[in-house]
Structure 1
Amino acid sequence: MKSKFPLLLMLIAAAITQGCVSNKKYAELQTSYTALQTKQTELKQSYDLTQRELEGSKTRVRSLEEQIASEKSNRAALQDALTKCLAGNNQGNVNIAKLADQITASDKYIKQLIAAKGKSDSLNMVLTNNLTRSLSQAEMKDVDVQVLKGVVYISLSDNMLYKSGSYEISDQAGATLSKIAKIIMDYSNYDVLIEGNTDNVPIKQPNIRNNWDLSTLRASSVVQALQNNYSVDPKRLTAGGRGEYNPIADNTTDAGKMKNRRTQIIITPKLDQFMDLIGKPVTK
């Protein structure tokens, strides 16, 4: 997509050079330019999120294809063993029956894997849509949602969640947290991990020793808000802090530090639910 910015800048420069642009007109052009910059940033963020989700889906599909190939190879070996057993009938009817049962079980598992491959993308899409359906465009600037293998990751910026340099929830965060709490309530059988993360700048607060403390206190604040303000069952909630040791961007830049200062809400199925989501039976 060709950028409109160079053309707009040329028009502004030409108009100023000719001395025929009023202050009002210049302000309007500047506003248009800023709006276009904002739109481009939003499109870039949307594109990056789509690419990450696509890569996650591709990895999931590749894994399922490998499992299918492996199981088909196993089935072929079982069929070969059964054929030899039937031809010689040297191992008795018990072994023949056992091989036949194993082949049947293998066929069933292959069908489950194929079905899981087919529903993987649609499952992720449904979960993502459920999570983002009530969030406004403005809220999405501070909220990043990803769904990978049935696990929902919601990353919230510290600028939106907390008062500056504090672990107290800001007033503006309430509306967004209430919407996320609604989704958590919808998935009532899922566990919820609240995980705090910081940049690598040492904290300078008399009552907070280091970034470990800050990240854990922030996660605890979100957990208590979900419990006390939005009635999320505390038995489902876990608060944890990872300090500065789980960065997703370069801490040498301000933009990177801003990305690293975040709180993740991770909504996770229990083991039996998770295995059902990916189409694989739980081994007892």
Structure 2
Amino acid sequence: MKKIMIIALSGLFLFPSCVGKKKYKELQSQYTKTQDLLNTATIKLNSCEERRKSLEDRLGDMKQTNQDLIQSSKDLTMLTSKGASNLEKSLESLQEKDLKISRLQDALTKKDSVTLALVTSLKKEIGLDDEDIEINVEKSVVFISLSDKVLFKSGSYTITTRAREILGKVATVINGKPDFEAMVEGHTDNVPFNGGGVLIDNWDLSVKRSTAIVRALQELGVKPNQLIAAGRSEYIPLVPNTTPENRSKNRRTKILILPKIDQFYEMIEEEMKTLSEE
């Protein structure tokens, strides 16, 4: 259109003689208005083009944002599902742990009950009120501690008549509990042994006294596979070996009554300790 107008106006200029002066001015004014309109339209068109481009850019950004939101929603759903699953597993784990602790506590309670019953049984069976005989619990183990003067003559490992009387009652208790073992520990003071013969030192003396007690219990009907002989020599004193009275206390024989399931109880205690540290 612009070209047609230019050609027409050029014709007017080429042939001025064919157009009147008044008409020429009208055409020239119309051309100017048309040119202004064209310029305005061009400006608006450019503005629209820029706006269109801006909108297209915004649309692209919005599409990308929408995609990101969709992906985020999927990720969140996945994380939420995973979190719920982990929470459920954690709850199940806590429930299992609580159940295990409850069972272990029941087992330990049972162990304490067995220990108490054993102490009561021993005290009832032996029935002695003697300062040289002690029935007690040490580190969850029931033991009978017999003074040296009750069992043996000085420097000897020959059992006295009084000892056989006491051991007969101990044997009755052990025989009534086939799932238990009896470990006999011999202890001496720190005075070096010089009795000669087959014994060399306090190690020999403590072990020999222990085996003498074991043989006596076996003769009294205790099964040999329930008996353990051990000698501790002078190295686990009750009191310092500084006086004759203290040395007399340290010369003793301990009979430890051990359930054969003690290893199981030790395992339980260790697991309880592990659980408490978690």
Shorter-normalised TM-score: what interval?
0.5 to 0.7
Letter in structure 2 aligned against 1:188:
P
* Counterpart position of 1:214: 205
Whether contact under 8 Å (2:188, 2:234) holds in the other structure is yes
Residue 183, structure 1, aligned to residue 177, structure 2: no
TM norm structure 1:
0.60
For residues 40-79 of structure 1, the aligned pairs below 5 Å read: none
The CA deviation at 1:128 is: 1.4
Cα distance change on mapping 1:272 and 1:216 into 2, 3 Å: closer
Residue 107, structure 1, aligned to residue 124, structure 2: no
Q: Distance in 1 between matches of 2:169 and 2:79?
A: 65
Letter in structure 2 aligned against 1:110:
I
Higher Cα Rg, which structure: 2
Whether contact under 8 Å (2:108, 2:265) holds in the other structure is no
Whether contact under 8 Å (2:189, 2:250) holds in the other structure is yes
Whether contact under 8 Å (1:195, 1:240) holds in the other structure is yes
* Counterpart position of 1:88: 80
Choose the corresponding residue for 1:197, options 179, 187, 205. 187
String of CA shifts for 1:65-113, please: whole Å, max 9, x gaps.
xxxxxxxxxxxxxxxxxxxxx98222684x5664343222212133235
String of CA shifts for 1:245-283, please: whole Å, max 9, x gaps.
110112011111111000111111234675299788799
Identity of aligned residues (%): 39
Cα distance change on mapping 1:169 and 1:87 into 2, 3 Å: farther
Cα distance change on mapping 1:122 and 1:92 into 2, 3 Å: closer
Letter in structure 2 aligned against 1:101:
E
Residue 269, structure 1, aligned to residue 269, structure 2: no
Structure 2 portions without partners, runs of 5+? 1-77
Cα distance change on mapping 1:149 and 1:257 into 2, 3 Å: closer
Cα distance change on mapping 1:113 and 1:149 into 2, 3 Å: farther
Moved over 6 A (4+): 276-283
Choose the corresponding residue for 2:244, options 254, 273, 281. 254
Residue 243, structure 1, aligned to residue 237, structure 2: no
Choose the corresponding residue for 2:147, options 157, 164, 169. 157
Letter in structure 1 aligned against 2:196:
P
* Counterpart position of 1:131: 122
The CA deviation at 1:179 is: 0.5
